[in-house]
Amino acid sequence: MSHNEELPPGPDFALGVPLASVPPDGVLAGRVGKEAVLIARLADGLHAIGATCTHYGGPLAEGLRVGDEIRCPWHHACFSLRDGAARKAPAFAAVQAWRVKIDGDTVFVREPLHATTKPQPRTPRARIVIVGGGAAGFAAAERLRDLGHAGSLTMLSADASAPYDRPNLSKDFLAGTAPEDWIPLKSEAHYAKRDIDLRLGTKVVAIDHAAREVVLREGDRFGYDALLIATGAAPRPLRLPGFDHANVFALRSLTDARAIIAACASARAVAFVGAGFIGMEAAGALRERGLDVHVVAPDSVPMERALGAELGAWIQSLHAAKGVRFHLREKPAAFDGKALVLESGTRIDANMVIVGVGVAPRTSLAEQAGMQVDDGIVVDAWLQTSLPDHYAAGDVARFPLGEERARVEHWVHAERMGQAAAANMLGARHAFDDVPFFWTHHHGIDVRYCGYAGRWDRVEVDGDLNARDFTARYFREGALVAAASVGRDRENLEIEASLHR
């Protein structure tokens, strides 16, 4: 590769570009030295920020500008075009802001700006406790400190590990192509630095809302002025004969993923029960490890409920081409530790079984405390539960979405709910109205999905599935409610923005 090929595309802003080349909306993509940089024209003048997303390095120049922010084409993080701040998950770190100089008709960008503003310290709630150290809990803690919360901040997590990149557990980490040091969202030192009292392996067993205290398994109590419940969801077990064998796994936590990886060392074949997103991703990852992979599910194609028959069949074909063997319209009956027996009588030799038949929201704490629960903790538009000062976010929360109530199980959405709950705990009163978004990864192909289609009655596919270039639009009673895209990242962002409007 030549030296030039390593440089980000576009002009070198250090050498100057014509003022007229900066569009009135959109952004001008270029570079400063080897750094990808964007220039945007805002109401108060020109601004320049780094163009490489701080989440996984997505190219912001290929994203979508909406007002004074730029949205990443890969997982839809939002950055301020004014100062580079990471406004919305899944990115948490700002991109570099650069000084813009205008000389006559020429614009120059040469020097990084050093942020000087710090949030005003405030303590509308002196003691905040977060139950859960996953997507929503982590994002809430970060946002609380970003917004200047100067009181105590305690995160109680039943997990043995500090918050980590859960989506990666069924993707590169499981495939063995991502080392474990990519998995933590932050180092443990980070929590100390931000004065976040992170307690791992700490299970909350009750909420004494009258006393404003949570109770740990060991009997210890933590007082709070505001509480966030971010306990997520637990894999649904399958109570079938032999499903209590040690070589039957679920995949939710880092501990689960490590156990599966350890079992792979001596396994030749694995049977997945369920053909949902996580199961199919994991099937792909273990196929990459060279295992014989079987998928057993009662459905006619994988992921049919979410994506429809055509896309489901396409996902199936991707996996089948890599050697995954499907046993669809079949149900498991029993596992004897060596073979999975189906109701049809088929026997599948398997050294391990992985069950992925959906999750159930962890609502027991809320139920016991008397909060309203209905397949999830019911929250209002500000993510407050039926008890004042008690908030819920993430997979566990059922929130108002348009005319209905929804509970979604997506990483970015859980993080954004955590961010919104954090702001509201400090008194922002911002109604949470983000459009749900998720992505899923199969044999090197990313499907990006925005919107919420609990029910849909028509799907229109525009483009070519085999060319991996399409958008599927989902409609309910004539109205667009969601879209799934491959190879059309910007279009997915545009649809997301239109759904928000």
Ligand X SMILES: Cc1cc2nc3c(=O)[nH]c(=O)nc-3n(C[C@H](O)[C@H](O)[C@H](O)COP(=O)(O)OP(=O)(O)OC[C@H]3O[C@@H](n4cnc5c(N)ncnc54)[C@H](O)[C@@H]3O)c2cc1C
Q: Which residues bind ligand FES (CB under 6 A)?
A: 53, 55-58, 72, 74-77, 90-91
Instruction: Report what 53 binds from ligand FES, ligand X, none; CB cut-off 5-8 Å by kind.
Output: ligand FES
Strands in 86-88's sheet, in edge-to-edge order, are: 64-66, 69-71, 78-80, 86-88
CA distance 419 to 143: 6
Stretch touching ligand X by CB under 6 A, among 9-17, 66-74, 218-226, 410-418: 410-418
> Cα separation of 469 and 180, whole Å?
32
Residue 410 identity (one-letter amino acid): H
Q: Which of residues 284-343 bind ligand X (CB under 6 A)?
A: none
Instruction: From the list ligand X, ligand FES, none, pick the one residue 74 interacts with, judged by a Cβ distance below 5 to 8 Å according to partner type.
Output: ligand FES
Number of other residues whose CB lies within 10 A of the CB of residue 130: 32
169 binds, among ligand FES, ligand X, none (CB under 5 to 8 A by kind): ligand X
Torsion of CA 490, 493, 495, 501, to 10 degrees: -140
Contact region for ligand X (CB under 6 A) — 2-10, 261-269, 317-325, 389-397?
389-397
Q: Residue from 17, 100, 251, 425 that binds ligand X (CB under 6 A)?
A: 251
Buried b (16+ CB within 10 A) or exposed e, 449-476: bbbbbeebeebeeeeebeebebbbbbee
Check binding of 394 to ligand X (CB under 6 A). yes
Smaller CB distance to ligand X: residue 35 or 409? 409
156/151 Cα distance (integer angstroms): 16
Task: For residues 205 and 225, give the distance between their C-alpha atoms in angstroms, rounded to a whole number.
Answer: 18
Contact partner at residue 96 from ligand FES, ligand X, none, CB < 5 to 8 Å by partner kind: none
Choice from 54, 96, 154, 231 touching ligand X (CB under 6 A): 231
Identify which of residues 232 and 242 has a Cβ nearer to ligand X in the complex: 232
**Residue 167 interacting with ligand X (CB under 6 A):** yes
User: Under the criterion CB under 6 A, does residue 410 sit at the interface with ligand X?
Assistant: yes
Q: Give yes or no for a cis peptide into 90 (omega within 30° of 0).
A: yes
Residue number, 52 or 157, with CB nearest to ligand X: 157
* 259 token code pair: 């156990």
8 binds, among ligand X, ligand FES, none (CB under 5 to 8 A by kind): none
By rule CB under 6 A, what count of residues binds ligand X?
36
- The interface partner of residue 55, options being ligand FES, ligand X, none and the CB cut-off 5 to 8 Å by kind, is ligand FES
CB of 437 to ligand FES, least distance (A): 10
Query: Any residues with CB less than 8 A from the CB of 157 and at least 6 apart, and which?
Result: 132, 133, 134, 137, 163, 198, 199, 200, 201, 202
